[in-house]
């Protein structure tokens, strides 16, 4: 088996063939045929993990790695500099995310979920099932581009390229490249650093390209679509809280906050709070639409001052993270919505593009926008996670090569350099694990 250091992947997985099926054990001939079949097609199966590896793409990687050597040398030097700096930036980002998570857990009125820098994504929980195609396709594409960086950089540094493959771990897809370990150990630490930083570098560049496409999309689509005419509603999901009899459809929910001063059966009244004597909050039940349409937006009582009339600034008394939202649209009457904003985000589809020609589909710009947003988010997140100096991630090999390249003249004993690297990796691993565990708890338990 090739040592784990020779396989570079987004999460560093390397699994051996595992046959546990009782039917195969009871039939030697079937077992032999099954093993030969898997070996022939480069398939490996283990618990929760299926992997396919092939030499079919070797020629492609060799061709790319030998294309314009001077340009590739400059390209991967840029990647090396970025990777080293980003290794430390990733620690700062994870530390800040952990601080935000802990603050949100201890707060009486926690901030919105999307205010954290990084978030754990769980399909079906905080990722709607309608977005799964985008999610998994972008994860796979980001992994492939990541591994192409490792593979091309390895060929550029004269490291033997054994093969390329893809895998599925539980339900998450990914990719990997198989490099010859002895060649990796013979090249200099700086050459190793170019190879190990290439994946993070390529993910960062991919995220930048997605951002550029998002920014220039109106220009790209200008010959085919009008823009700047305001948002158009393209779809309202059947179970959306925005579904109802008024255009985008007015929807009310029973208030489930800590204070309720209206009849739960009322579909037009909601509870408002305002400062009373000694700044103790007082509550009053008001018709929502009349209260909003006849008043101005305020933050304090001074914003509502009128001559000879005492006015108070009142706000909806709603539960944490629930909002009263007013939406203006083509209908004469605005839509009022009480609930979580994310419900509107995932159940109402909007577009800022109107086709110039009848044969063009209204959803095409939205599909491109959504795909680019996922690419920006997930490829960027993959760069951050892999840059963390953590066991089994690219950051482990990046850190080891960096220490060898910078400390070998200052700390002669390799065992001492390894010890420094071990404690840094231990800290990075604990930091990443804390973010994942607490992030999962925030998503699933609250």
Catalytic site positions: 147
Which residues, including other chains, have CB under 8 Å from residue 175's CB and lie 6 or more apart?
Answer: 9, 10, 140, 143, 144, 146, 147, 164, 165, 166, 167
Please tell me the distance from the alpha carbon of residue 246 to that of residue 250, in angstroms, as a whole number.
5
Residues sharing a CB contact under 8 Å with residue 445, sequence separation 6 or more, in sequence order: none
Structure tokens at 443: 């998503």
Distance of alpha carbon 433 from alpha carbon 101, whole angstroms: 13
Rg (CA), the chain: 28
Q: Which residue's entry shows tokens 């710009």? A: 365
**Contact in structure between 234 and 355 (CB atoms under 8 Å):** no
**Would you say how long the chain is, in residues?**
446
A 10 A CB-CB count for 368 gives 16
CA distances in angstroms from 215 to 211, 300, 352, 368, 383, listed in the order given: 6, 37, 13, 12, 21
Q: Token pair of 326, please?
A: 């007013």
């Amino acid at each position: 088996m090739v040592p784990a250091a020779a396989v570079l992947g987004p999460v560093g997985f390397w699994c051996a063939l595992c046959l546990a099926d009782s039917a195969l054990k009871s039939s030697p001939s079937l077992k032999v045929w099954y093993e030969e079949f898997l070996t022939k097609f480069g398939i490996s199966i283990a618990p929760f993990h299926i992997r396919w590896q092939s030499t079919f793409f070797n020629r492609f990687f060799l061709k790319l790695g030998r294309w314009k050597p001077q340009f590739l040398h400059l390209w991967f030097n840029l990647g090396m500099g970025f990777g080293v700096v980003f290794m430390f930036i990733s620690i700062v980002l994870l530390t800040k995310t952990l601080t935000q998570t802990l603050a949100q857990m201890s707060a009486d009125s926690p901030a919105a979920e999307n205010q954290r820098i990084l978030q754990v994504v769980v399909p079906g929980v905080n990722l709607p099932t309608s977005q799964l195609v985008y999610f998994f396709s972008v994860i796979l594409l980001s992994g492939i581009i990541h591994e192409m960086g490792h593979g091309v950089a390895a060929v550029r540094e004269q490291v033997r390229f054994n093969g390329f493959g893809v895998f599925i771990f539980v339900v998450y897809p990914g990719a990997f490249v198989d490099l010859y370990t002895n060649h990796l150990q013979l090249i200099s630490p700086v050459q190793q650093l170019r190879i190990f930083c290439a994946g993070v570098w390529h993910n960062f560049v991919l995220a930048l390209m997605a951002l550029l496409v998002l920014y220039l999309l109106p220009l790209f689509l200008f010959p085919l679509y009008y823009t700047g005419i305001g948002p158009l509603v393209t779809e309202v999901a059947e179970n959306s809280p925005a579904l109802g009899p008024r255009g985008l459809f007015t929807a009310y929910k029973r208030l489930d906050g800590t204070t309720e001063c209206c009849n739960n059966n009322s579909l037009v009244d909601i509870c408002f709070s305002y400062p009373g004597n000694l700044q103790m909050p007082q509550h009053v039940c008001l018709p929502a639409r009349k209260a909003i349409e006849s008043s101005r937006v305020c933050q304090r009582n001074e914003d509502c001052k009128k001559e000879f009339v005492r006015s108070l600034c009142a706000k909806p008394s709603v539960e944490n993270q629930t909002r009263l939202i007013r939406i203006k649209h083509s209908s004469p009457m605005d839509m009022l919505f009480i609930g979580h904003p994310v419900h509107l985000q995932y159940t109402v589809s909007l577009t800022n593009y109107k086709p110039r020609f009848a044969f063009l589909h209204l959803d095409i710009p939205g599909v491109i926008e959504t795909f680019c947003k996922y690419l920006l988010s997930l490829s960027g997140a993959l760069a951050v996670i892999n840059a963390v100096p953590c066991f089994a991630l690219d950051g482990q090999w990046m850190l080891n090569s960096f220490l060898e390249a910078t400390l070998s003249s200052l700390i002669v004993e390799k065992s001492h350099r390894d010890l420094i690297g071990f404690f840094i990796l231990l800290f990075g691993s604990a930091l990443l694990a804390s973010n994942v565990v607490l992030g999962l708890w925030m998503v699933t338990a609250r």
